[in-house]
Amino acid sequence: MLDADLAELYEVETSALVRQMKRNIERFPEDFMFQLSTEEWRDLRCQIGTSKGSGGRRYAPYAFTEQGVAMLSSVLRSQRAVEVNIEIMRAFVRLRELMATHKDLARKLDQLEKKYDEKFRVVFDAIRQLMQPPPEKLKRKIGFR
C-alpha cells in the first residue's frame, strides 16, 4: 500500500506518516517498505491521472508490505493506529491458539490410528489430507510470452 493511502487509513497526514517512518527507519527493512523509483512513480501518475504541475507530491511515494503496515501501526500515535496495533496482536494470539489446536488434533489422530486396525487407514489418510494447507498456486506471469 502507498503511504498516502495508509495515512488516510491511520487518520494521520501523509507527511506525519513518512516522518515517523524515517525516525524509526531501523524498523523498516527493505522487505517492509521501499520508495518507488522515478519511473514507477511516473507510470503510477499516468495511471491515476495525477498532475505533474505545481500541485501534488514533490517526491516518489513509499510502498509498504503487509509487515510494514503492521510496523507502522506501532510507530504512529493516532488512536486509529493504536486500535490497528491491538487487533494485530489479537490476531497473533488467535493464530497461536489455532496452531496449538491443530497440533492437539494431530496427536489425537495418531493415538486413534494406533488404536484401530487397517480398515480405518483410508479414513485417517483422508483426515490428514484435509489438515494439510492447500498447495500454493503457481502465479502466471503477466504479459506476452
Q: What's the pLDDT tens digit per position in 83-98?
A: 887 887 788 788 778 7
Q: Is 119 in a helix, a strand, or coil?
A: helix
Other Cβ atoms within 10 Å of 136 Cβ, number: 6
Whether residue 129 has pLDDT greater than 50: yes
Cell of 75: 510507530
**pLDDT digit string (tens) for 53-84?**
445 677 899 999 888 888 888 898 888 888 88
Q: What is the CA radius of gyration of the chain?
A: 23
**Could you tell me which residues come within 8 angstroms of residue 60 by beta carbon, excluding any fewer than 6 positions away?**
35, 36, 37, 38, 40, 41
- H helix or E strand, kind and range, residue 103: helix 79-115
